Structure 1
Amino acid sequence: MLLDFILVIFASGITSFIDSFLFELESDPIEDIFSIKNAVSIILLAAVIVPFIEELIFRFPLKYERNLVFHFFDFLTKNKAKTFWFKHFRIFFYLFAIAFALMHLTNYSNTNSLFYILAPLIVLPQIIAGITLGYVRLKLGFFWGVLQHGLYNLILFSVALLFFNSNQLTKINNIDYSLEINIVEFGLNNPITLETYKSEDRIDSIIGNNTTVKELAEILDSTDTILLKKSKRLNIRFINKTNSKNPETIILDELIKEFK
């Protein structure tokens, strides 16, 4: 497990480089799943349910006596499938690891061609995990693989929940206005609030917690198609002090800088 973490940290550096310098990795699908869960549900899902299901699909069949598909083919081919399995087992082992990794591409909503070209690098952490978990499954047994997978996810998600759930996007405080926007990684099933306070036609303040970029863009009458599709969650606090500039423009400019 320690070796897995060391290798995955290295591989994650490659993924971070792609995300920072080539194109943004859109993780909206998985964020949508976790945004409506509380902390206990997230940990239960990530550290118990998902590891068991994934190990059942991708590691349980690595032992021939548990592989019902090949047992069926073995019956049809009069034991030829069993011979084929053991002769080419290394290939099957790595194919299961690669299939496990490629399945994690569904965590992202990207559809550009470069995303698919770089897919092996994007899921390199999962390829490494697939290989190490496969080794544990073969050497120690199925439930040891589930345990390692669960502990791995428990550590990652616990650290994310405790230390990285809120990241500051913007903090501006001048004589004209103050604006603070924080990105929220997990909604934790908290109530969504987004209030706009006005005096006549002037926006005095906008206060929002656990809202989405899309909802905020709609409130600000944005026509930007990228912002109107973003489900990333935000906490926002805007105070207009002098009305010297259009508040909608101020906030949308900051959002576009981050998400475009």
Structure 2
Amino acid sequence: MFFIVVAPIAEELIFRLPLKVKRLNIFVALVMAYGIFYLSHKSVATLFSLAEVLKAITFILICLEILYCLKDEFFNAISTRYFSLYFYALTITFGLLHVRNYIDLVPSNLVLLAPIFAIPQIIAGFFLGYFRLKRGLFWSILLHAVINTPTTLFYFVKH
């Protein structure tokens, strides 16, 4: 269920929502990334500790400060002149983050070749980004869920 519902929603919010270059979209993506990549590795008991709450509030305030200090011209430049670079950076980052799914399968002497395993996710990221831009975020989430379904079902049937 996680890989078919939660992961597509979270990953699309992080990597495809900000393709519509707006402060709010980028803010939501940053907060989701913080939640997924930092908080998800914490125990439930420590999530609500004063230290973790203060870290989260600090992260949110810093993100807001940076995003609202940037001029509108910056966001306009990203959404026009530098959009291709921005799109490819998000797509490749999305794909390379999936290397962790395969890193245990790669012998230690070949670990530098591990990104080769992420090529399918990079290609999927291009299609998901295209869908997000042409059809909307809902459709990229749905396509992501469809892409994850066969692998997830195969994994659970096999185990």
Q: TM-score, normalised by structure 2?
A: 0.65
Which of the pair is proportionally richer in helix? 2
For 1:147, the aligned partner's letter is L
Please list, as runs of the form range in 1=range in 2, the aligned pairs for 1:114-133 lying within 5 A after superposition.
114-116=110-112, 118-133=113-128
Quick one: which of 46, 53, 72 aligns to 2:3? 46
Q: Say if 2:14 is the partner of 1:57.
A: yes
Deviation at 1:73, TM superposition (A): 4.9
Unaligned runs of 5+ in 2: 31-62
- Structure 1 counterpart of 2:26: 67
Q: Percent identity?
A: 35
Deviation at 1:156, TM superposition (A): 2.5
**Larger relative contact order (C-alpha < 8 A, sep ≥ 6)?**
2
CA distance in 2, matches of 1:113, 1:58: 31
- Structure 2 counterpart of 1:13: none
Paired residues, number: 120
Deviations 1:88-118 (A, max 9, x none): 11111111111111111112235735222x2
Q: Say if 2:125 is the partner of 1:135.
A: no
Q: What is the alpha-carbon root mean square deviation over aligned residues?
A: 2.4
Q: Say if 2:82 is the partner of 1:88.
A: yes
3-state SS of the aligned residue for 1:64? coil
CA distance in 2, matches of 1:134, 1:147: 12
Unaligned runs of 5+ in 1: 1-43, 166-185, 187-260
The answer to whether the Cα contact below 8 Å between 1:48 and 1:150 also exists between their aligned partners in 2 is yes
3-state SS of the aligned residue for 1:87? coil
Please list, as runs of the form range in 1=range in 2, the aligned pairs for 1:89-168 lying within 5 A after superposition.
89-107=83-101, 108-109=103-104, 110=106, 112-116=108-112, 118-162=113-157, 165=158
The answer to whether the Cα contact below 8 Å between 2:99 and 2:115 also exists between their aligned partners in 1 is no
Which of the pair is proportionally richer in strand? 1
For 1:81, the aligned partner's letter is F
CA distance in 1, matches of 2:76, 2:130: 21
CA distance in 2, matches of 1:72, 1:113: 43
